[in-house]
Structure 1
Amino acid sequence: MLQIVIPAYNEERRLPRTLRELRRHVTAHRGVLGRVEVLVVDNASTDRTAEVARAADSAALPVRVVRCARRGKGAAVRAGLLATDAELVCFMDADGATGLDAIEEAWRHLLLGADVVIGSRALAGSTTEARHCRTRSLGAAAYRRLAGRLVPGVADTQCGFKVFRGSVARQAARRLRTAGFSFDVELLVRLRATGAEIQEIPVTWTDVPGSTFVPSRHGAAAFAELARIAWRCRSLDRPAPVGAPAPVALVGSH
């Protein structure tokens, strides 16, 4: 069974389309994916996010709403991952920006031995359509450089598509403390510290209007979170003891 976590804060407009496309995709690939369930995490929304999520529930794609009163994407993803019980779990953004073909590709990598598969817009073979202004692009480049110091070799920590072995995801989520947009970095740091094999895959990604991330409002907080992650996880990058799992192998990173 595969459970897909979708964090959602005031997503009543974008979420229905994402769930419709996901239902069609899952139905078309049922022979590969088997049973799939969606957990929409209502992150203290003030609109009809929870209502539209429940309305999308169907036999073809069961949809369950998980409430998370603590505001922040990291808090929502943590709550969603901890509410799962499947062997394989995924989280994806409510805007459906990442092409759904990534699900089968990630599945294949997990079957071949990966513990974590993350979508990467930075790998050769990725297709991205973005409408970012120059200021946002410069800020993103600076963020990537700093995140790369915490998770060396990972080309894109922030793509909103990641698939895990369920037990690995829940173990890391229990220790996750970052509530905001930089949670991906802490999650990857903690996964790497456990010896999890992390692989990146190229994706098709389209910038969908309506993002709740506003650089002028959230940018400084995201950088501050990176500093806190570096302090919080400072002991996790020590050399592994003899007999510990092999270092993480990355696909497509050089």
Structure 2
Amino acid sequence: MTTDSSLRSGPGTTGRRSSSRHGGDGGADHRLPGREHLPARQPVATAAAVPVLDVVVPVYNEEKDLRPCVVRLHGHLARTFPYPFRITVADNASTDATPAVAAALAAELPGVRYARLEEKGRGRALRTVWSASDAPVLAYMDVDLSTDLNALLPLVAPLISGHSDLAIGSRLDRSSRVVRGPKREFVSRAYNLILRSSLAAGFSDAQCGFKAIRREVAERLLPMVEDSGWFFDTELLVLAERAGLRIHEVPVDWIDDPESSVHIVRTATEDLKGVWRVGRALAVGALPLDRLARPFGDDPRDRAVTGVERGLARQLVGFCVVGALSTLFYLALYSLFRLGVGPQLANGGALLLSAVANTAANRRLTFGVRGRSGAVRHQAQGLVVFAIGLALTSGSLAALGAASGSASHGTELAVLITANLAATVLRFLLLRAWVFPARACPEPEDVR
């Protein structure tokens, strides 16, 4: 990829990156610094001010729409935004007059500059410009300005205040007002449904071209994002959410551009490939999300509070859900095995298989242990807990046989359920105290 390393700037901007960086040398310490409220506009000339916000407008062959877009965006920011700002036009290898239009805008409007890339890709453009920007808050929007600009300040305000790490506009919020055709509506909702079901995404609208991120967060996330096209921002959001970063959503008013050059089928195909790639990487623990876990050192869950066990309520809920599903799985296996073998063999086989699945599910969902490290040891310890459960349930079956001789299948199930309830309580205590004990949480280091 070839880029113009010297981003062309209009009057009133600076093309140099700030030499100061939070978080030490950026090598050994992968934690993000504490969120800070950015200072208000200082009474200095715009030419000397480092912009607080850098809005990137990625374009490809947009000679017709580029000027009206930038003029309107610049006017809106000049009227309503209380901080210094910059608008960066990121030209994705346009072959028409887009570079000339962008250069003219950079020369004409203060706070406007452009970057020229010799390869296409929205993600590539955002990565290039965001990586070179000195603004503490980075944003982007589509050149058609389908999103109403009144949502821009609400979008970036939580990032400026330090409350959130990323912010996205949502067309699928109940209070959003959206005008677009049924085909795009269906594709958008279907895509976000796929994200929720396959990647457990909690955000509502992945592909709205209206997003913002704090620079120090981008510095840690961008190296982890592989895609350089339309899936770029979805991958960014999924990784941010899995790393525990805070994503702020803003309902937007949005009007579809009927002349949009986006190829829906090709874009959807690439997005589905990206979903598969990211889902597989998350499943095998191939992503270094631990670099961003507990990133700021200001998480109240990291504070030592006497008399309160850490995460007990959440672990109980997760354990109960996993336990209920495991019990149903166990009973189904027992009923299946009982068709061919005696009750003791059926119970042992069903309990063994359900115990392996239960340990794996509790490891990930209840106690938040990810990656392959220690997985074999955890399963071995889980089998010890299984042996205790086997003793309880087998003993119950033996006692039932001694008391009634030949009990009905329904009676066997009732006894097993009662025994499993007792084994479940013991299982939770052993898993929490022995298999997945809470690690001592060190005091957060001062990385400022």
Structure 2 CA distance for partners of 1:199 and 1:207, relative to 1, 3 Å? same
Matched, 1:6 2:57: yes
Residue among 161, 165, 189 paired with 2:210: 161
Matched, 1:121 2:167: no
In 1, are the aligned partners of 2:242 and 2:289 still within 8 Å (CA)?
Answer: no
Query: Displacement, 1:239?
Result: 9.3
Matches within 5 A, 1:77-156: 77-110=126-159, 111=161, 113-133=163-183, 136-148=184-196, 149-150=198-199, 152-156=201-205
Match of 1:24 in 2: 75
Aligned to 1:95, what secondary structure does the other structure show? coil
Please list the CA deviations of residues 225-254 of structure 1 after superposition, one character each: whole Å capped at 9, or x if unmatched. Answer: 22222234442789969x83559xxxxxxx
Structure 2 CA distance for partners of 1:61 and 1:202, relative to 1, 3 Å? farther
Match of 2:263 in 1: 214
Q: Distance in 1 between matches of 2:212 and 2:165?
A: 8
User: Which range is displaced more, 86-95 or 136-145?
Assistant: 136-145
Matched, 1:201 2:250: yes
Structure 2 CA distance for partners of 1:60 and 1:197, relative to 1, 3 Å? same
Please list the CA deviations of residues 195-220 of structure 1 after superposition, one character each: whole Å capped at 9, or x if unmatched. Answer: 32111110111112332211234332
Structure 2 CA distance for partners of 1:13 and 1:97, relative to 1, 3 Å? same
Q: Distance in 2 between matches of 1:127 and 1:58?
A: 36
In 1, are the aligned partners of 2:77 and 2:85 still within 8 Å (CA)?
Answer: yes
Per residue, is there more strand in 1 or in 2?
1
Aligned to 1:225, what secondary structure does the other structure show? helix
Structure 2 CA distance for partners of 1:7 and 1:59, relative to 1, 3 Å? same
Structure 2 CA distance for partners of 1:37 and 1:239, relative to 1, 3 Å? closer
Q: Distance in 1 between matches of 2:200 and 2:76?
A: 32
Q: Distance in 2 between matches of 1:192 and 1:78?
A: 19
Structure 2 CA distance for partners of 1:237 and 1:173, relative to 1, 3 Å? closer
Q: Distance in 1 between matches of 2:204 and 2:239?
A: 17
In 1, are the aligned partners of 2:106 and 2:114 still within 8 Å (CA)?
Answer: no
Match of 2:363 in 1: none
Unaligned runs of 5+ in 2: 1-51, 301-448
In 1, are the aligned partners of 2:105 and 2:112 still within 8 Å (CA)?
Answer: yes
Query: Displacement, 1:8?
Result: 0.9
Structure 2 CA distance for partners of 1:59 and 1:239, relative to 1, 3 Å? closer
The CA RMSD measured in Å over matched residues stands at 2.5
Relative to the length of structure 2, the TM-score reads 0.50
Structure 2 CA distance for partners of 1:239 and 1:48, relative to 1, 3 Å? closer
Query: Displacement, 1:59?
Result: 7.1
In 1, are the aligned partners of 2:243 and 2:290 still within 8 Å (CA)?
Answer: no
In 2, are the aligned partners of 1:4 and 1:39 still within 8 Å (CA)?
Answer: yes
Query: Displacement, 1:90?
Result: 0.6
Query: Displacement, 1:80?
Result: 2.0
In 2, are the aligned partners of 1:7 and 1:76 still within 8 Å (CA)?
Answer: yes
Unaligned runs of 5+ in 1: 248-254
In 2, are the aligned partners of 1:39 and 1:63 still within 8 Å (CA)?
Answer: yes
Query: Displacement, 1:68?
Result: 2.2
Matches within 5 A, 1:64-83: 64-83=113-132
User: Which range is displaced more, 137-146 or 150-159?
Assistant: 137-146
Query: Displacement, 1:118?
Result: 0.7
- The count of corresponding residues between Structure 1 and Structure 2 is 242
Q: Distance in 1 between matches of 2:154 and 2:228?
A: 29
Q: Distance in 2 between matches of 1:68 and 1:151?
A: 34
Give aligned-pair identity as a percent: 32
Higher RCO (Cα < 8 Å, 6 or more apart): 1
Query: Displacement, 1:46?
Result: 1.0
The structure with the largest alpha-carbon Rg is 2
Per residue, is there more helix in 1 or in 2?
2
Structure 2 CA distance for partners of 1:123 and 1:75, relative to 1, 3 Å? same
